[in-house]
Chain A
Amino acid sequence: MTVFNWRRAIAPLVLSVLLLVTGCTAKEPSPYAQAQQESTQKGAQPAVAKDATQGSSFNKFFPKPGDGYERVYTQEKKGFAEAKLKKDGKDVAMLAISDAVADVTAGMSATKKFEKSVTKIAGYPAVDVGTTQTAVLVADRYQVKVLSRNPAFTKAERQAWIQRFDLAGLSKLKK
Chain B
Amino acid sequence: MSKSIFELVDELPTGGITVMALRSLDFVVPGQWQNLTGFNNTIREVTGETDEALIQQIGERAVYLFNDKSQGYQRALWLYQTVDSASGALGAAAMANKVGQDISFLGFLGNLTPKPEKAQSIDLTVKLVVELVAFCQINGIPGDSIGDFLAALGDYGGESLMRMAALVCFDGLIPLGPDFILKGLSTIQGMSPKDLEQNQTFKGVSDLIPGGDSAGKLGFINQSFDSVKGWMSDFVSSRNLTQDNVLDNLTKFVEVSKDKLDYVGAFLDISVNYYTHTGVQTLARRLIERAVAEI
Contact = CB atoms under 8 A, between A and B. Distances in A.
Contacts of B70: 46, 48, 50, 78
Interface string A104-147: 01100010000000000000000001111100000000010101
Nearest to A77: B140
Contacts of B63: 32, 35-36, 39
B59 A32 contact: yes
Contacts of A145: 293
B47 A132 contact: yes
Contacts of A18: none
A22 B143 CA distance: 51
Chain A contact residues (Cβ within 8 angstroms of B): what range? 35 or more
Chain B, interface size: which category?
35 or more
B55 to A, nearest CB: 9
Contacts of B6: 30, 32, 36
B141 interface: yes
Sorted nearest first, the 6 A-B pairs with minimum C-beta distance are: A73-B142, A96-B293, A73-B143, A76-B140, A47-B68, A47-B64
B40 to A, nearest CB: 8
Contacts of B54: 129-130
A149 to B, nearest CB: 7
A100 B294 CA distance: 7
A17 interface: no
Interface of B: 1, 4, 6-7, 10, 39, 47-51, 54, 56-57, 59-61, 63-65, 67-68, 70-72, 138-144, 148, 151-152, 155, 286, 289-290, 292-295
Contacts, number: 131
Nearest to A76: B140
B276 to A, nearest CB: 20
A74 B139 contact: yes
A75 B290 contact: yes
B97 to A, nearest CB: 42
A162 interface: no
A114 to B, nearest CB: 12
B293 A82 contact: yes
Given A72-B152, A76-B139, A131-B50, A31 B59 contact: yes
A48 B71 contact: yes
B71 A78 contact: yes
